[in-house]
Amino acid sequence: MVREELEQTLVLIKPDALKNSLTGYILSQLSEFHTGLRFAGAKVVHVTRLLAEEHYAEHRAKVFFESLLEYLQGKLHYPDEPHKQRVIAIVYQGRNAIAGMRDVVGPTNPHQARDARPGSIRALGTVVPITDEGGEVIGTRLDNLIHASANPADAEREIKLWFKPTDIPPSMRIFPTAACDTHFYYRDQRVYTTYTTGSICLAAPGDVLWDTDLEVLELVCRGADAPYSLGAVAAKYLTNLTEEE
Ligand code: CDP
Ligand code: MG
């Protein structure tokens, strides 16, 4: 679909990397000199539960899911410092960006990374036991410092989940956009075309949206089935708004 040299992937520098001052090291490992990839977009995000849930939706039923959400939200590494609870989200672009970035990042499990790919970024991660309320170990969480999209479908979904089209320079956008011609407001997990107190404006006439996001908003407004959830559209408009969450 996308020309190979224009492939894009989403990278998240996770809270454990920030906590351990590995951001500079990671950015250096991912530099164009080493990877041949360029920045297409970058932002600092205070991650809401909604964004974390949408990002890791495929893991909803797993034993580590709740712990994973808290991890991505920075609640585990900065429990008493909300202002430090953030991730750095970056879109990288270039030839073979998705597979190439997964390679630099290394295997999901830091122990396997240390064995199989000692120089990879995730080889510097940790494996942490997850306990229940009684202190019983019920599983493990992999604090592996960095996320990178696993395949082209995930890359498109994740880039659209974290970034608005206008976060990316027009000449570097690889997914189609569309101009909105109405207002869409969000409140209590529903979408409206008129404002009520407490609702948040997702889009106004003239705004540039991912074409699939606009389609989802229009379908959800009409009560029809949509290709993905309203939450996946709204999440990026709801981060960094207030000190809540
Ligand atoms: O991140 P990646 O695509 O390599 O792995 P995943 O299987 O999609 O899992 C997503 C994230 O969940 C991982 O990066 C880990 O941080 C976490 N995870 C975990 O805590 N425990 C596991 N057994 C598997 C994954
Ligand atoms: Mg994955």
The answer to whether the CB of 68 is under 6 A from ligand 1 is yes
Identify the pLDDT of residue 142: 98
Atom of ligand 1 nearest to the CA of 71: 16
Atom of ligand 1 nearest to the CA of 140: 21
The answer to whether the CB of 141 is under 6 A from ligand 1 is yes
Strands 208-210 and 177-179: antiparallel
Provide the phi-psi class of 176: left if phi over 0, else alpha when psi is between -120 and 50, else beta. beta
What are the pLDDT tens digits along the chain (245 aa)? 555 568 999 999 999 999 999 999 999 999 999 999 999 999 999 999 999 999 999 999 999 999 999 999 999 999 999 999 999 999 999 999 999 999 999 999 999 999 999 999 999 999 999 999 899 999 999 999 999 999 999 999 999 999 999 999 999 999 999 999 999 999 999 999 999 999 999 999 999 999 999 999 999 999 999 999 999 999 999 999 987 65
Q: How far is the CA of 48 from the centre of ligand 1 (A)?
A: 19
Which ligand lies nearest the alpha carbon of 102? 1
The answer to whether the CB of 120 is under 6 A from ligand 1 is no
Run of H or E residues at 131: strand 126-131
Atom of ligand 1 nearest to the CA of 107: 4
As annotated, the residues of the chain forming the CATH 3.30.70.141 domain(s) are 7-172
Q: Which CATH class is domain 7-172?
A: alpha beta
pTM of structure? 0.97
